[in-house]
Homo-oligomer: A and B are copies of this chain.
């Protein structure tokens, strides 16, 4: 079932919510219509489950990117680098289900909006934590405004997914190199 959900994630990322029909889902998940409706209440429930699965996977990827750094600043740098990589190429073109949910459904579906906001806030809190770590270990100056900087970085990461979906190329090292000035 998790593998079927992974396939649903791909379709929702690529086509968004409304352009994905139940037929698209059954084809991707290799399940019949009745089976999908036996596993999920309706299409929105499939989307929310796919959203949850996507968020969990991405959260893990981001944590492990952070673990590649040896201090707060380096951990943050690797998180940003990881975001650029995921916003590029084939995965970038496929898109992000959080951004898709925000743009396509935030105004129409309170459940999805709540999940999107929760996800954005989790990410922001994580980044803010890394900034504080850096300030504690001396790799980030104490005068950096933690909350404002982490919120701006959320804007950067979400924006990269928009730009990546539009297929503008993103150079990881150079883009992140510039973004790290925010920690000066």
Contact = CB atoms under 8 A, between A and B. Distances in A.
Interface of A: 14-16, 18-19, 93-95, 99-100, 102-104, 106-108, 113, 116-117, 120-121, 145, 148-149, 151-152, 154-163, 165-168, 170-171, 174-175, 177-179, 181-182, 184
A113 B166 CA distance: 6
Contacts of A159: 154-160, 162
* Copies of this chain, count: 2
B117 A166 contact: yes
Given A145-B174, A181-B181, 17 more contacts: A18-B104, A19-B108, A95-B103, A95-B106, A99-B162, A106-B165, A106-B167, A117-B167, A148-B177, A152-B178, A154-B168, A155-B156, A155-B160, A158-B162, A158-B163, A159-B162, A181-B184
A15 B178 CA distance: 35
Contacts of A94: 107
CB-CB nearest 6 A-B residue pairs: A159-B159, A18-B18, A155-B159, A158-B159, A158-B162, A103-B103
Contact of A179 (B117, B152, B160): B152
A160 B103 CA distance: 11
Contacts of A100: 103-104
A45 B103 CA distance: 21
